[in-house]
Amino acid sequence: MAVSLAPVPSLPESRDAAAQRHRDERARAEAVAGALDRRMATVANVRVVAFLAAAAFLLLTVFHRLPLWGYLPALGAALGYGALAFWHGRLLQAEARARAEAAYHQRGDERLTGAWHAHPPGGTPLEHLAEHPYAADLDVFGHGSLFQLLDEAATAHGEQRLAAWLSAPAAPEEVRHRQAQVVELAGRPGFRRDLAVEGRLGGNARVSPRAFIAWAEAPPAMDGVRWMRPLAWVVPLLWAGVVAATAIDRLPGEVPWLALLVPAGLLLLARRGVAASFEGLELGQRGAERLARALLRLEQEPFASPELQALAHGSAPGTAPSTAMRQLARLASLAEQRRNQLHVVVNVLTLWDLHVFFRLDDWRRRHGRQVAGWLDRLADVEALACLGGYLHDRPDLVMPDVADTGPRFSAERLAHPLLDGAVANDVSLEGPGQLLLVTGSNMSGKSTLLRAIGLNAVLALAGGPVSARRLVLSRLDTWTSMRVQDSLEQGVSFFYAEVRRLKQVLEGAAAHPRAALVLVDEMLLGTNTRERRLASGEVLRLLVATGCIGAVTTHDLSLAELARVPGSTLVPVHFQDVLEDGRMRFDYTLRDGVVQSTNALRVLALAGIPVRDDARE
């Protein structure tokens, strides 16, 4: 069953219109930031005046240059200084937000004008993907990759969720659920911008949740000294009483100093719990306020989709995640006072650490087991928002139809999603064992076709839009063999590396009968022509037997004979080139049948390598 989605509301008319919108919004945000910067300079100057006035009135009054009423303007100027400092802080936050919005729209503009390759690639490192079925071959991660084009997640958890969706296909029903949410988020550009900005505000680094979740779910660190909790209130009050008694000569002057041994001893006994809690908090929670803002923005959005409503609010009653995260941010700020040079004095006098870290333990008991769920829901929305932004800014994209039965991959006007102005082609793979046998000249577009098929399948089965006029596909596990490399370190030849990769492809296709998409570029180049012909034919036979669909490119035109065998499911197609005015021209258009000419010698000649005229014929 294929399901069609309603059109996306509020889409720009074209990519150019989307790029212009980003430029306009960036200019607006930069103008706001500039105005705030000028206002901050004025406030800073007034703060200096207020400080000097407070100091002048205070000194003049202390040294009897003014009567006692001089303390009043000193106090007023000091209060004014405090109010101006608070205002300056608010202006600083507003300016940081405006700058973050400008950066967001700059990235959006660059994604549409070809400059997105300069963005940090993020995502899963390619060196960890050597054994992945398709990621390295299809440029899913790394520089100039699909992930780099899509990624606007503000948290590392959101990045990981998007990477996971691009790394494995979802079931058809899950894909449809994601599509509905992507379509709604595509029509909410303000929310997507705010989510990205709130998560990044205060720094460019993405918030990493792994250590934070570990800290939140760990047992409370202060349980071993819980008996101190009432003492944390009683001891400072008793010490204050001792000081008061000493001040009225009821106790000797040495007693308050001796009494400080009691809070010092309590802190010494609690030091391990405090240190363990603070170390975990410091490692894991460097972005509580940013996460709180992102969660609050998520909770405030009036989603229409029940799935997005569930992601925003969850199903369990209780404190809103944003409220709990703000509480933690305040406690974390209090815990950070341990770095203050005066903390030792304040800690001994008030037992500061006991109060703060007992409250942090309370927070972990109430909310620690909920944190992973909160961040999971936020990660889902971030990943969906990345796909929604891609759909919004590229109105030529479509949401594919996902069929329950297959194997099937049927596309009209399919194009490579990472290439601007890519030539589109129709591709039809319907029925078990159907493989395109793609022939053509060097540089004619064979590898690009394979990546166009693979990347659009990855996007479609992640729940995202595709570069096509129309695409219908079933759930497909993609396996590729395209960028095979030898390894001197491991003593692996190019041919053996090819064979190992083809073995992985064959095993993958066999493990997913009638549900695999196989893409093989230039099969078995590392051996001689005769053996390549025999071995390639056997590999094709084994692939067809699994019921997979896909495409195989080759320069060996003799393989095309296999398509003429009665009952063959191989479909010969080709790209061609034309020599015009001494230069080769490619139209990158897929045609039926086998290519009738090659261009290797012409490439040599055009590169300046002397080739005999009779050799070119």
Q: Do the domain assignments include residue 68? A: yes
Select the highest-mean-pLDDT range: 12-16, 48-52, 207-211.
48-52
pLDDT for 607: 61
- In three-state secondary structure terms, 125 is coil
pLDDT higher at 471 or 10: 471
Nearest to 201 by CA among 290, 325, 321: 290
Of 66-70, 80-84, 228-232, 482-486, which gets the smallest average pLDDT? 482-486
- Whether 180 maps to a domain, the answer reads no
**Does residue 200 belong to any structural domain of this protein?**
no
Query: How many CA atoms, within 13 angstroms, populate the side-chain half-sphere of residue 203?
Result: 11
Tokens of 489: 């370190």
Structural domain ending residue among the three candidates 95, 119, 143: 119
193 lies in some domain: no
Please state the three-class secondary structure of 318-383 as a single string.
CCCHHHHHHHHHHHHHHHHHHHCCCHHHHHHHHCHHHHHHHHHHHHHHHHHHHHHHHHHHHHHHHH
Residue 529: CATH number of its domain: 3.40.50.300
Q: Which residue, 119, 146, 177, sits at the end of a domain?
A: 119
Asked whether residue 363 falls in the same domain as residue 459, the answer is no
Output the six-digit token pair for 209: 């949740």
373 lies in the same domain as 406: no
Give the whole-number percent of the chain exceeding pLDDT 90: 47
Residue 609 lies in a domain: yes
Determine which helix (DSSP H) or strand (DSSP E) holds 574, and give its type and residue range.
strand 570-575
What residue type is assigned to position 120 of the chain?
P
Answer whether residue 189 is part of any domain: no
Instruction: Specify the DSSP element, H or E, that contains 585.
Output: strand 583-586
pLDDT at 387 over 70: yes
Residues 605 and 558 in one domain: yes
Rg (CA), the chain: 33
Is residue 487 located within the same domain as residue 411?
yes
How does 371-407 read in b/e, with b if 16+ C-beta sit within 10 Å?
bbebbbbbbbbbbbbbbbbbbbbbbebbbbbbbeebb
Q: Do 461 and 602 fall within a single domain?
A: yes
CA dist 330 → 288, 325, 334 (Å): 9, 9, 6
Q: Are residues 364 and 465 in the same domain?
A: no
162 falls within a domain: no
pLDDT of 235-285, one tens digit each?
999 988 988 888 888 888 888 889 889 999 999 999 999 988 888 776 555
Contact status, residue 378 vs residue 293, Cβ threshold 8 Å: no
pLDDT of residue 485: 63
Let me know: does 147 contact 163? Beta carbons within 8 Å.
yes
444 in the same domain as 354: no
What is the residue-averaged pLDDT of the chain?
Answer: 85
Tell me which of 118 and 360 has the higher pLDDT: 360
- 441 plus 574 within the same structural domain: yes
In this structure, is residue 267 part of a structural domain?
no
Residues 498 and 571 in one domain: yes
Instruction: Calculate mean pLDDT across residues 411-430.
Output: 93
pLDDT band of residue 377 (cuts 50, 70, 90) is very high
Least confident segment among 216-225, 262-271, 551-560 = 551-560
Number of folded domains that form the chain: 3
Phi and psi of 564, rounded to 5°? Answer: -90, -5
pLDDT in tens, 193-215: 999 888 777 554 555 667 778 88
Which residues are bridge partners to 568 per DSSP? none
Q: Is the pLDDT of residue 139 over 80?
A: yes
Contacts of 325 (CB under 8 A, 6+ apart): 288, 289, 291, 292, 295, 374
Question: Could you tell me the pTM of the whole model?
Answer: 0.85
Domain identity same for 374 and 416: no
First to last CA, the chain: 53
357 and 445, same structural domain?
Answer: no
- Which range of residues forms the domain containing residue 43? 1-119
